[in-house]
Amino acid sequence: MATANETKTSSYRVIGTRPIRHDGVDKVTGRAVYGNDVQLPGLLYGRVLRSPHAHARIRSIDTTKAEKLPGVFAVISSADIDPHESKMAELGEGSVNLQYLCENVLARKKVLYKGHAVAAVAAVNAHVAEEALKLIEVDYDPLHAVTWVLDAMKDDAPILIDDLKTEGAPLPHSKGPTNIAQHIVFSKGDIEKGFAEADVIIEREFKSATVHQGYIEPHVATALWSPDGHLSIWASTQGSFTCRQQTAELLALPVSKVTVTPCEIGGGFGGKIRVYIEPIAALLSKKSGRPVKVLMNRADVFESTGPTPGSFIRVKLGAKRDGRLVAGDAWMAYDAGAYPAGIIGPGCVCVFSCYDLPNARVEGFDVVLNKPQTAAYRAPGSTNAAFACETVIEELAEKLGIDPIEFRLKNAAKEGTRRPDGPAYPVIGLVETLKTAKAHPHYSATLEGPNRGRGVGCGFWMNAGLKSSVTAHVNGDGTVTLVEGSTDIGGTRTSIAMQLAETLGITAEEVVPRVVDTDSVGYTDVTGGSRTTFATGWAAHDAAIDIVKQMSARAAEFWKCSPDEVTFDRGLFSSKSHALTFKELAGKIQETGGTITGRASVEAKGVGATFGTHIVDVEVDPETGKVKILRYTAVQDCGRVIHPSYAEGQIQGGVVQGIGWALNEEYVYDADGRMRNASMLDYRMPTAVDVPTIEPVMVEVPNPRHPYGVRGVGEVPICPPPAAIGAAIYNAIGIRMYELPMSPPKVCQAIINEASAK
Amino acid sequence: MATKTPVSTTINGEPVEFLCEPRQSLLEVLRDTLHLTGAKEGCNNGNCGACTVILNGVAVDSCLVLGVEVEGAEVTTVEGLACRNELHPIQQCFLEDAALQCGICTPGFLVAAKALLDKIPNPTEEQIRFHLAGNICRCTGYDKIVKAVQHAAQEMAK
Ligand code: FES
Ligand code: FES
């Protein structure tokens, strides 16, 4: 690839290097203040009472006994929050229906899932708060629950929301109440004609279980509702402004009356965008007149936050004998959870996004059922879809006798390819990842031994742009203080600071990045959609340009020349007869008119999508069905890499989450719709012994529309693992798995079924 | 409310006395009573390792230890790793090798790694992975953590 950015590569001084992150020392010494580390004088501890039923009407709630317990300062239920009508509030990355948000925060007439919040207590310590919860009397009228997406779509399914209307494409046979919140149809070309031309057609059905983001830090929020009516919140949130807006809307406050301070955050992956306990902490503070910290326990996290959708997907693909895909048809039903959630939308976009399909149709359903309202999880909707599409791609390649990477190369999306949902791709790097994977020694390495196999898989994520603001103050010692609103979940202070430093010709260490509260910086959307290094980095670049402009004018003043005569290159201001480094000039700005502040607010367009191609070797234990990962290589187009270590870390972390999703993680439900494994022991996430080194291979196809060529890197690495591992299992033992997770009992059962069928 | 018991112990080399209820965990005492908030609460039932401390030379989940149990004991928390203003090699290597993303698991890993290197100064990759299996990291995929521990072992051998 030879883009304008590419030719600049060698001249970068900061981008592509590996400085130590600015918040590093605080985080290795235990000093960094995470949400649960907030301490305020007079702090009370809040706990939430949650529904033991998956679906029930609330007849009554009696809090009298709890209120009388010594040490209890406030008890609240939905009676303490005014109802909202069904109205959408814009949140930047998506929007939210205020009625549903309000009822999810505190159930009103019905509980819709086990773990649904019903009431809350603030007390002198957590133990007293928990004792008080036991004294709250809730009279429930249990109803039938439904937790499997296809069951929830049936005509006789229990209905969760009586007045739910299906959004989007009309349903052919809809009559009366429904659990279908959204119906999506995308189409391109003529699939009938396409399948008629196909020499080989394969159609398969796929199930995936509900999985959780699994961040190690539980949700936590501290609120102080001051007598002057101002509400301050210290939160563990991916987006302080999004948190502010949701809380303000729910509590009917103007946004200017709410200040959200984003604490250090212990992981989010999409699950810390919607508010759960922030409004509860606020109401408890209002009622008690004291600051209140509400912390979830781990069961709360599993049962009432996240998760990402379980799904049913049917994929049919047709190809010509020469290996060209001619048609694709996908039918996809995703869990919405208790309230509409819409992750089906990106699922439908992603299912065929890696391939150039002349004829395609995608139909999707967002289905309400008795699970917590689903939330984004790293490339939301894409992993379920990739598992389905990529597995059918593998089967087609096998049937046609074509190498699986070669088959993908023949059909790979490239610049100009139009996706079934409409947009045509700008410059993308799928082909580059496929070629790099094919040439990688892993792909040609011999893999010996019984029950071992190799698989490949691809994945796609669209990434987000959205709004970011920064201000940058030039200090007299030549450093720059960079004030930003993006929660730093994985080193973005540094990746943003590096773009400012590159533009100003200073070092990363000469930038002092600060993530501040919602009163101290301009509006900034969530850290999500792999957008932070891309969009907030872009804002930092623009703020640096603003600084250069102002400093050039100062230099001109100093040198008594016209500003046009001042040039700036890599940290050096010069005119025909003078030159000053950035640092030297910074030392003189107080003599030439005072402080210089650069600022920028961007609404970043020109988002660059990201693709990955992964190779995995597995060994299957035929006795137990346990799948061991022997070797893993993840090739990804990262666009221009700003900080290689943290880009690699995103890939490695995403892959390991994908391995967990593929092999172990699932919500196990009983017949009454209760989750039976709401602990980190029973919900089995990968540990250090479960995975080998994940080798990241970064291909750089710069995004031509970003000043430094950045694409988001964080999300796509979770998409390929389930399909790639499924392919590897097939190549190891000759059995295709169509259900996630491919956990030992399921693999074992498949082996037994296969043996008895012979 | 339950009555409180006085406890005398040593934390990070300093004698410490505190009062605690019998039902309070060591994690709760460290965080809420002593304001040593470096140990994190991820699960409060021994499954994540974010609360790891060294108790009489052994890495333990402080959420599974009662405050009253540390009478006369020696406790090391993440706050006790650095020597005045000098980072411990494990801390330095975590920084240099980018072994943290969100950082919530980091105190637990640092403490668990210290307990390991105190016992086995030159562990194999397998030993590192095995000894750190009680600590969950959801962000990094473990590779950079394992490499940082190997790197620290080399530094400490110098
Ligand atoms: S908080 Fe102690 S092990 Fe998770
Ligand atoms: S760095 Fe986030 S959990 Fe380990």
A216 to chain B, closest Cα gap in Å: 5
Task: Assign A10 a pLDDT band (cuts: 50, 70, 90).
Answer: low
CA A746 vs. chain centroid, Å, equals 28
* Adjacent-strand bridge partners of A292: A44, A223
Describe the crossing of helices A721-733 and A382-400 by its angle, rounded to 10 degrees.
Answer: 40
The ranges of chain B with pLDDT < 70 are 1-2
Query: What does the pLDDT look like over A29-67, one tens digit per residue?
Result: 999 999 999 999 999 999 999 999 999 999 999 999 999
- Contact list, A214 vs chain B (CB under 8 Å): 138
Residue A752's CB: how many other CB atoms inside 10 A?
A: 11
Cβ B145–A28 below 8 Å, yes or no? no
Cβ B138–A645 below 8 Å, yes or no? no
Cβ of residue B102 lying under 6 Å from some atom of ligand 2: yes
Cβ of residue B95 lying under 6 Å from some atom of ligand 2: no
Q: Which mutation among B41, B97, B101 tests ligand 2's pocket best, with the greatest number of atoms within 8 A of CB?
A: B101
Domain ranges in chain B with CATH number 1.10.150.120 = 89-157
Domain ranges in chain B with CATH number 3.10.20.30 = 5-79
Q: Which mutation among B135, B137, B143 tests ligand 2's pocket best, with the greatest number of atoms within 8 A of CB?
A: B137
**Does residue A683 register a pLDDT over 80?**
yes
pLDDT for B129 equals 98
Amino acid letter, A295: L
HSE toward the beta carbon, residue A604, CA cutoff 13 A: 35
Query: What does the pLDDT look like over A280-314, one tens digit per residue?
Result: 999 999 999 999 999 999 999 999 999 999 999 99
The tokens for A114 are 């086990």
Name A498's Cβ contacts closer than 8 Å, sequence gap at least 6.
Answer: A14, A15, A17, A19, A508, A511, A537, A642, A643
Ligand 2 atom closest to residue B100's alpha carbon, by position in its atom list: 1
CA A740 vs. chain centroid, Å, equals 20
Task: Assign A8 a pLDDT band (cuts: 50, 70, 90).
Answer: very low
Residue of A28, A47, A684 to mutate for B, most B C-beta atoms under 10 A: A28
Cβ A20–B132 below 8 Å, yes or no? no
B81 to chain A, closest Cα gap in Å: 8
Q: Is residue A63 within 8 Å of residue A119, measured between CB atoms?
A: yes
Residue of B66, B85, B104, B131 to mutate for A, most A C-beta atoms under 10 A: B104
Domains of chain A: 24-32+464-604 (3.30.365.10), 35-144+216-304 (3.90.1170.50), 426-460+608-758 (3.30.365.10)
Cβ B106–A265 below 8 Å, yes or no? no
Cβ of residue A216 lying under 6 Å from some atom of ligand 2: yes
Cβ A39–B137 below 8 Å, yes or no? no
Cβ A489–B102 below 8 Å, yes or no? yes
For CA atoms A729, A731, A732, A737, give the dihedral sign: positive
Query: What does the pLDDT look like over A204-253, one tens digit per residue?
Result: 999 999 999 999 999 999 999 999 999 999 999 999 999 999 999 999 99
- Select B5-79's CATH number: 2.60.40.1120, 3.40.50.300, 3.30.565.10, 3.10.20.30: 3.10.20.30
Residue A562, SS3 per DSSP = coil
Alpha-carbon Rg for chain B in angstroms: 16
**Does residue A1 register a pLDDT over 60?**
no
Question: What are the CA-CA distances from residue A439 to residues A442, A615, B83 (Å)?
Answer: 8, 12, 48
Give B41 Cα–ligand 1 centroid separation in angstroms. Answer: 6
Residue A382, SS3 per DSSP = helix
Across chain A, mean pLDDT equals: 96
Give B156 Cα–ligand 2 centroid separation in angstroms. Answer: 24
Residue of A216, A269, A301 to mutate for B, most B C-beta atoms under 10 A: A216
Describe the crossing of helices B106-119 and B89-96 by its angle, rounded to 10 degrees.
Answer: 130
Out of B91, B97, B140, whose CB is closest to A653? B140
Residue A732, SS3 per DSSP = helix
Cβ A266–B103 below 8 Å, yes or no? yes
Cβ B101–A36 below 8 Å, yes or no? no
pLDDT for B120 equals 98
Cβ of residue B46 lying under 6 Å from some atom of ligand 1: yes
Cβ A685–B136 below 8 Å, yes or no? yes
pLDDT for A591 equals 86
The tokens for A144 are 């039938």
Chain A residue at shortest CA distance from B38? A30
Above pLDDT 70, what percent of chain A? 98
- The reply to whether CATH 1.10.150.120 applies to domain B89-157 is yes
Amino acid letter, A692: P
Q: What is the pTM of this model?
A: 0.97
Cβ B44–A297 below 8 Å, yes or no? yes
Report d(CA A234, CA A232) in Å as an integer. Answer: 7
Longest CA–CA span in chain A (Å) reads: 91
- Contact list, B89 vs chain A (CB under 8 Å): none
Q: Which mutation among B41, B109, B132, B139 tests ligand 2's pocket best, with the greatest number of atoms within 8 A of CB?
A: B139
Task: Assign A92 a pLDDT band (cuts: 50, 70, 90).
Answer: low
Closest residue CA from atom 4 of ligand 2: B137
Cβ of residue B137 lying under 6 Å from some atom of ligand 2: yes
Give A151 Cα–ligand 2 centroid separation in angstroms. Answer: 37
Cβ A489–B101 below 8 Å, yes or no? yes
pLDDT for A2 equals 33
Whole-complex ipTM: 0.98
Give B153 Cα–ligand 1 centroid separation in angstroms. Answer: 26
Query: What does the pLDDT look like over A122-162, one tens digit per residue?
Result: 999 999 999 999 999 999 999 999 999 999 999 999 999 99
Out of A30, A655, A657, whose CB is closest to B38? A30
- Contact list, A689 vs chain B (CB under 8 Å): 129-130, 133
Cβ of residue B119 lying under 6 Å from some atom of ligand 2: no
Task: Assign A93 a pLDDT band (cuts: 50, 70, 90).
Answer: low
Mean pLDDT of A479-506: 97
**Does residue A85 register a pLDDT over 60?**
yes
- Contact list, A298 vs chain B (CB under 8 Å): 42-45, 47-48
Report d(CA A409, CA B156) in Å as an integer. Answer: 48
Report d(CA A307, CA A211) in Å as an integer. Answer: 6
Phi, psi of A446, rounded to the nearest 5 degrees: -75, 145
Cβ of residue A267 lying under 6 Å from some atom of ligand 2: yes
Report d(CA A436, CA A689) in Å as an integer. Answer: 28
Q: Which mutation among B25, B37, B48, B135 tests ligand 1's pocket best, with the greatest number of atoms within 8 A of CB?
A: B48
**Does residue A331 register a pLDDT over 70?**
yes
Ligand 2 atom closest to residue A266's alpha carbon, by position in its atom list: 2
**Does residue A4 register a pLDDT over 60?**
no
pLDDT for A7 equals 39
Report d(CA A471, CA A602) in Å as an integer. Answer: 12
